[in-house]
Structure 1
Amino acid sequence: MGKQFVSMSHQHIEFIEQQQLFFVATAAAQGKVNVSPKGMDSFRVLNSQQVLWLNLTGSGNETAAHVQQLPRMTVMFCAFQGKPLILRLYGQATAIHRADEAWQDYISMFPAQAGARQIFLLEIEMVQGSCGLSVPFFDFVGPRDELSSWAEKQGERGIEQYWAKKNQRSLDGVATHIVDLSKPAT
C-alpha cells in the first residue's frame, strides 16, 4: 500500500535528483489521456511543494493543451536501480510559454536547449510513494542527443514554423497557445 505525504521529504528530493527519466500524465475533462516520458536535464525541485520541468519540442503538445483546460498533472518517477520505489507528485500545473513574463524567471535554471517550448510549474498537492517491487532493473547508458541535434539544425525560425504546423492543437483539437499565429515567425 502506498504512503501519502503533503509535500516532498528530503529523501524524496534526493531520489528525484538521481533519476534520469520521469513520466508526465495529463488529461482534459474529455478526450485522450496523455502520458509522456521525459529525460535530459529538464527537471528542477524548487522546494518541497513546487517543481519545474522544461518541455522540449516534440511531435505533439498534449500537455500544454490539457493543462490550459484542466491544470491537474501527475509526475511519476520509478527506481530502475537500487531500492525499489515509485514516487508520484500530484498537483496543479501552470504552462509557462516563452512569451510569458515568468519564462525569464525560470529558463536560466536549465541548460540552454534548442527547442525549449514551455516550462511547467507544478504546485504539489500530494506525494505518494509505493513499493515498485515489479519494476525491472535497467542500466542507464547515457542520454540521447537526437532531439537536441534536430532542434539545433532547425534553428529558431524552423522551430517556430514546426510549432505552428505541428504543435498548435492537441490530438483532440484543443489549442496549445504555443505561438501567436497573428504574428509572422521570426
Structure 2
Amino acid sequence: MAKQYPDIDGVQSEFISRQKIFFTATATAGSRVNISPRPTDCLRVLSPNRVVYLDLTGSGNETAAHTRVDGRMTIMFCSFEGPPKILRLYGKGRIIAQGSAEYGELLAAHYNEEPLGARQIASLDIDLVQTSCGFGVPLFDYAGERPTLARWAEAKEKDVGLDAYRREKNQFSIDGLPTGLFEEPAE
C-alpha cells in the first residue's frame, strides 16, 4: 500500500543511503519521457525537502533540457536487496551549472573532489515522498560499480576532450530542446 509524506524522514534517508542505484525521470508536455539510472554515490540528501546529485557526462542531457522547460522531476529508489520497497521523490528539479558559485559551494561542502567527467549538479526540491511495497522488484546481488564511464572520460579528455564531446552531444535533448550547458553560469 502506497504511503505519502511531505518530506524525507530518518527511516527513508537511511533507506536511500543503502541503495546502489536510483532513477531520474523528467519530461515536458511535448517531449519524450526520459528515465536515467544513476549511482547513489553521487547523491546527497541536503535536507528533508532537497536532494542533489553530481551529474556526469553521458550520451545525452535530457534532464537539463526538461528541467529548463518544465521542472518536474521524479527520483525513484528500489530495494534490490533485503525487504522490498520503492521510494519516490517528487518535486521541481533544476540544474546547477558547473563553474557557478552554487556548484562550487555544493562541491566543496558535499563531495571530496570533482571527478573527471562531472558536468553539472541536478537539484530536486521535494514536495512529495511516496513509498510503496516493491513486491514486484526482483532481488539482485550487487557486484560493484562499472569502471567504464571513468575510463571513457579519461580517454576522451586525452583525445578530443570532454568539452568538445559535450558540445556535440549534450547541448540539445533528443527532441531538440536546449540544455543550457554552455550558457554562462548565473552568479
Scaled by the length of structure 2, the TM-score of the pair is 0.92
Distance in 2 (CA, whole Å) between partners of 1:89 and 1:112 is 25
> Bigger shift: 123-132 or 146-155?
146-155
Alignment of 1:1-186 (within 5 A): 1-39=1-39, 41-108=41-108, 109-110=110-111, 111-155=113-157, 158-180=161-183
Distance in 2 (CA, whole Å) between partners of 1:170 and 1:123 is 22
The Cα shift of 1:100 comes to: 2.2
* Aligned partners of 1:40 and 1:143 also within 8 Å: no
Residue ranges of structure 1 left out of the alignment (5+ in a row): 182-186
Deviation by residue 1:57-79 (Cα, 9 ceiling, x = unmatched): 10010000000001110000000
* Aligned partners of 2:79 and 2:134 also within 8 Å: yes
The Cα shift of 1:13 comes to: 0.1
Q: SS at the partner of 1:89? A: strand
Distance in 1 (CA, whole Å) between partners of 2:72 and 2:31 is 15
Deviation by residue 1:57-104 (Cα, 9 ceiling, x = unmatched): 100100000000011100000000111000000011110011322110
Supply the RMSD in Å over aligned alpha carbons: 1.5
Deviation by residue 1:31-69 (Cα, 9 ceiling, x = unmatched): 100000111621000011110111111001000000000
Paired AA for residue 68 in structure 1 = R
Q: How many residues align?
A: 181
% identity of equivalent residues: 45
Distance in 2 (CA, whole Å) between partners of 1:114 and 1:40 is 17
Scaled by the length of structure 1, the TM-score of the pair is 0.93
The Cα shift of 1:180 comes to: 4.3
